Every structure is written in C-alpha cells, then in structure tokens.
Amino acid sequence: MTTTITPVIAGNWKMNGSRASLSELQELAALLTTGDAPRAMVIICPPATMLHAVASQGSTSGILAGGQDCHAQAAGAHTGDLSAGMLADAGAQYVIVGHSERRADHGETDPAIRAKAEAAMGAGLKPIICIGETESQRDSGHAEAVVAGQLAASVPDAAGQHDVIIAYEPVWAIGTGRTPTNDEIARMHDRIRALLVERFGDKGATTPILYGGSIKPQNAREILAIENVNGGLVGGASLLAKDFYTIISAV
C-alpha cells in the first residue's frame, strides 16, 4: 500500500438498510472509538433515506457519509433524482459515481459519469469514480484497454485540481465470490496509477485507488497489502459492523 496516501475504506450499502440498520452503525462507531485509532479514512454510503442519519451519527466517531449517486444538474425537473448539492445539504462529503450497477442497470455512459463527477466537485463533494471491466471483456484480453478508456472518459480534467477517488471494480467479481489473483489486482492498479500520473502528474500520484471486487474479512489484509491498492470499496460486508471493522483493521 502506498504510504503517502491515507487509506480509504468505503462501505456501499447499495439498496439495503433502514433505520433499524443504524444499530450496526452504532456498533461500528463503538468499535472505532474504543480500540486503536483506525489508520484508514472510513466512509459509509447508505441509501439516500438514511444519509442524514449516518452523517449525524457518524460524526462523533470519524465516520464520513457519502451518496451512492447524483444527478449531473444542480436542480430542475428530474423527478426521483438527487443533486450533488442536496447530498451535501444532507451531510454527505463523498458520492459514488459510475458504479458498475449504475452502468449496467441504467445504461450510464462515461460522459454521463464525467458530468456527475463534475457536478459533485462543483457542490463540494469528493467523487468516488468507479471503473472496471466485465467478464467477457477480461476473457477477451481487453480488460486494461477498457479500464484505460473508462478512466480517460469518466474522470474530469478538473480532477487535477480537486480531490477524487478512483475505485477499480472487476465487474465479474462483484457479489460472485470470485476474486482476481493478487497479480491481476496489482497489474490493474499499477496501470491505473501510471495513467493517473501521466495525466495529472503529482496529483495523479497521490489519488487513492480503491479495490472494489468482493472484499471480505477473510481476504482484506492480503488485498490491501498490494502495491497501489489504497483501500477498498466494500459492498455486502459493510452492512455488518464486525465484518466492516475487520476490513478497516486490515489496513
């Protein structure tokens, strides 16, 4: 793990959770505040209905809140959507954009994701920009080309002046229990780092790159020790305080 970058462990609750789930947040807060101080920055991205509660409850334990998506426009006739400014008003400091499930389920394109990232930065949020290849793209030998293309088209030029986070998601490993080898993870993260440095210079050298493919308590320490893996974007394991804390502690 790159020592000059503060590690980030971000939990994406996806479409899970209710007010009853806040008990898990309370347990996580207790674990974070009673043991050794975590070496990682901890972010939880709950459903929008819980964003304000997570931001309020997490503030005393250092847990930061993030949204799971935002609209590219600041306001307007967009029924059911939320602007980046609304997320910030609810207490968010981060927002995920371009998650593989948004790309697949909602047909989001790289230019659309870029616009959302720009909107997030304009509202004072730090975007967590997701990129990653499908199983067919990897099996056909195009994984690095796909990821490079997404990185170029999804990340705004303004990322050279603003703080962003990149999350690499091998789509074929999300929720499947299948995990890339350490060499495959290292190779892709090294490639992403090289592209960031080529485009943004020193800023690209210090941009966190998270791994987002089925991180679990059992494999967290091994994955987080890989060069240029600066943390994780965690799905299901972030819903349970003890599992998430184990991952945070693996940094």
- pLDDT beneath 70, residues of the chain: 1-3, 175, 177
Taking CA atoms, 178 is separated from 75, 135, 140, 236, 242, in Å, by 40, 11, 18, 14, 22
Tokens 């305080």 correspond to what residue? 241
Active site amino acids: 99, 169
* Whole-number Å distance between alpha carbons of 51 and 66: 7
153-212 pLDDT tens trace: 999 999 999 999 999 999 988 767 677 999 999 999 999 999 999 999 999 999 999 999
Mean per-residue pLDDT of the chain:
95
% the chain with pLDDT above 90: 88
The domains of the chain, with CATH numbers, are 8-70+82-249 (3.20.20.70)
